């Protein structure tokens, strides 16, 4: 993390991020199944509950000696613990909007736009204590290609069933 | 129609906010600890909400197959990975590649499950996304 201005990200990190997108697809699929049997609220509640247990078990398994006090990690501000609120509210919003004329495609497309806008601001200003990252023309080119491809898949590719 | 549009946009902003906060927490703790807090705080909020509006545990919950419940543990890995990556490759790269990976794997899942799709659009979309990835890792 020392060199936050690195212009060329590690390709393995990029691949890892791409792979976690696959995890997201699986997560959305399984949570959708649960929502179909029960309700969207129950699905999100249960996913957060089983996730809490899974994380606690993993932490217990991986638990090693506490780092010494001399390990100087800066203390996290209280607001840094609130990512879960933001995530839970997201689920409430999207489970509402998929049942409006926007449907799944509109919800996904607008969500994509929201994420892109936030991430640009986050890197530009280094929001919430994370490093600023200088954006190069190629970054905007890459972002444009991914957004265009995603929009095509969401708005045209997924449209066949409608 | 304005309200749903604003809600859907806000949902996207909140996805980014959540990753940014979890990423900040991971710097001070660890990605897995950040993921733990993300889930327990979300669980607390949804519990309160469910108790207020009622019907938290609907009748059909018991009928769901066990695999419908593994979205939560998958989410733990997802949040931990995002919290680790965002400090290393930045918010734009993380968001862009997670979205790209979600889209490409979503197309693959739809093909596997024989969900009707407009194939040319999905294929072209996948190519554009892969092109974006190639450009992102260029020097």
Please tell me the predicted confidence (pLDDT) of residue A4.
47
* Structural tokens at position A10: 């590690």
Q: Say whether pLDDT at A1 is over 60.
A: no
Half-sphere exposure for A68 (CA within 13 Å, toward CB): 2
Measured between beta carbons, which residues in chain B are less than 8 angstroms from residue A21? 97-105
Percent of chain B with pLDDT strictly greater than 70: 100
Q: Say whether pLDDT at A66 is over 80.
A: no
Search chain A and give the residue with CA nearest B22.
Answer: A83
DSSP state of B66: G
Percent of chain B with pLDDT strictly greater than 90: 84
Mean pLDDT confidence for A139-155: 94
Please tell me the predicted confidence (pLDDT) of residue A5.
52
Give the number of other Cβ atoms within 10 Å of residue A117's Cβ: 15
Measured between beta carbons, which residues in chain A are less than 8 angstroms from residue B139? 7-8
* Structural tokens at position A152: 């095509």
The answer to whether residues A83 and B38 touch, using CB atoms and an 8 Å cutoff, is: yes
Does the distance separating the beta carbons of B118 and A14 come in below 8 Å? no
Percent of chain A with pLDDT strictly greater than 90: 66
Report ipTM (2 d.p.). 0.92
Measured between beta carbons, which residues in chain B are less than 8 angstroms from residue A91? 46
> Chain B closest CA to A123's CA: distance in Å?
6
Q: Which of A82, A101, A131 sits opposite B41 (nearest CB)?
A: A82
* Structural tokens at position A135: 């954006």
Measured between beta carbons, which residues in chain A are less than 8 angstroms from residue B45? 84-85, 88-89
Rounded Cα distance between A3 and A133, Å, is 10
Mean pLDDT confidence for B26-39: 97
DSSP state of A139: H
Query: With an 8 Å Cβ cutoff, is B111 touching chain A?
Result: no
> Chain A closest CA to B52's CA: distance in Å?
12
pLDDT digits (tens, 9 = 90+) for B61-115: 889 999 999 999 999 999 999 999 999 999 999 999 999 999 999 999 999 988 8
Query: With an 8 Å Cβ cutoff, is B54 touching chain A?
Result: no
Q: Say whether pLDDT at A161 is over 60.
A: no
The answer to whether residues B18 and A87 touch, using CB atoms and an 8 Å cutoff, is: yes
Please tell me the predicted confidence (pLDDT) of residue B86.
97
Please tell me the predicted confidence (pLDDT) of residue A115.
95
Please tell me the predicted confidence (pLDDT) of residue A63.
83
Does the distance separating the beta carbons of A160 and B117 come in below 8 Å? yes
Rounded Cα distance between B130 and B124, Å, is 10
* Structural tokens at position A132: 């600023």
At B13, the pLDDT band (50, 70, 90 cuts) reads very high
Rounded Cα distance between A115 and A99, Å, is 21
- SS3 of A4, please? coil
Give the number of other Cβ atoms within 10 Å of residue A81's Cβ: 19
Domains of chain B by residue range: 15-53+70-136
Q: Say whether pLDDT at A162 is over 50.
A: no
Give the number of other Cβ atoms within 10 Å of residue B138's Cβ: 12
Q: Say whether pLDDT at B48 is over 80.
A: yes
Query: With an 8 Å Cβ cutoff, is B38 touching chain A?
Result: yes
Q: Which of A14, A30, A42 sits opposite B97 (nearest CB)?
A: A14
Burial A30-48, CB ≥16 within 10 A → b, else e: bbebbbebbbbbbbbbbbb
Please tell me the predicted confidence (pLDDT) of residue A69.
56
Q: Say whether pLDDT at B57 is over 80.
A: yes
Measured between beta carbons, which residues in chain B are less than 8 angstroms from residue A123? 90-92
- Residue, of A140 and A7, whose pLDDT is higher: A140
Average pLDDT of chain A to the nearest whole number? 88
> Chain B closest CA to A68's CA: distance in Å?
13
Give A36-105 as a DSSP string: HHS-HHHHHHHHHHHHHHHHHHHHHHH--PPPPTTS-PPPPPGGGGGHHHHHHHHHHHHHHHTTSTTHHH
Please tell me the predicted confidence (pLDDT) of residue A7.
62
Percent of chain A with pLDDT strictly greater than 70: 90
Rounded Cα distance between A84 and A86, Å, is 5
Mean pLDDT confidence for A146-154: 94
Does the distance separating the beta carbons of B69 and A83 come in below 8 Å? no
> Chain B closest CA to A23's CA: distance in Å?
6
Taking alpha carbons only, the member of A52, A40, A105, A159 closest to residue B72 is A52
pLDDT digits (tens, 9 = 90+) for A83-141: 999 999 998 899 889 888 888 888 999 999 999 999 999 999 999 999 999 999 999 99
Please tell me the predicted confidence (pLDDT) of residue A99.
84
- Residue, of A66 and A24, whose pLDDT is higher: A24
The answer to whether residues B46 and A48 touch, using CB atoms and an 8 Å cutoff, is: yes
Report CA torsion sign: A6, A11, A12, A18: positive
Taking alpha carbons only, the member of B64, B75, B96 closest to residue B32 is B75
Please tell me the predicted confidence (pLDDT) of residue B82.
97
């Amino acid at each position: 993390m020392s060199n936050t201005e690195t212009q060329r990200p590690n390709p393995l990190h990029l691949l890892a991020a791409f792979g976690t997108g696959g995890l997201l697809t699986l997560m959305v699929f399984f949570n959708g199944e649960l929502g179909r049997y029960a309700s969207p609220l129950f699905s999100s509640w249960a996913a957060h509950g089983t996730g809490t247990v899974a994380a606690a078990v993993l932490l217990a398994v991986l638990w090693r000696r506490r780092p010494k006090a001399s390990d100087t990690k800066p203390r996290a501000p209280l607001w840094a613990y609130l990512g879960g609120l933001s995530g839970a509210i997201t689920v409430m919003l999207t489970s509402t909007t998929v049942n409006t004329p926007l449907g799944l495609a509109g919800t996904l497309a607008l969500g994509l736009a929201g994420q892109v806008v936030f991430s640009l601001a986050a890197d530009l200003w280094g929001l919430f204590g994370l490093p600023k990252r200088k954006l190069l023309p190629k970054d905007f080119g890459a972002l444009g290609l991914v957004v265009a491809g995603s929009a095509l898949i969401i708005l045209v590719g997924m449209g066949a069933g409608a | 129609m304005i309200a749903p549009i604003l809600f859907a946009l806000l949902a996207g902003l909140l996805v980014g906010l959540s990753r940014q906060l979890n990423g900040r927490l991971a710097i001070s703790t660890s990605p897995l600890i950040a993921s733990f807090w993300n889930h327990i705080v979300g669980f607390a909020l949804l519990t309160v909400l469910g108790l207020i509006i009622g019907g938290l545990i609907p009748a059909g919950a018991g009928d769901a197959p066990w695999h419908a419940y593994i979205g939560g543990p998958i989410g733990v890995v997802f949040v931990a990975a995002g919290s680790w990556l965002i400090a290393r490759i930045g918010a734009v790269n993380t968001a862009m590649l997670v979205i790209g990976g979600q889209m490409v794997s979503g197309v693959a899942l739809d093909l596997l499950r024989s969900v009707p799709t407009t194939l040319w659009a999905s294929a072209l979309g996948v190519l554009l996304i892969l092109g974006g990835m190639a450009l992102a890792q260029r020097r």
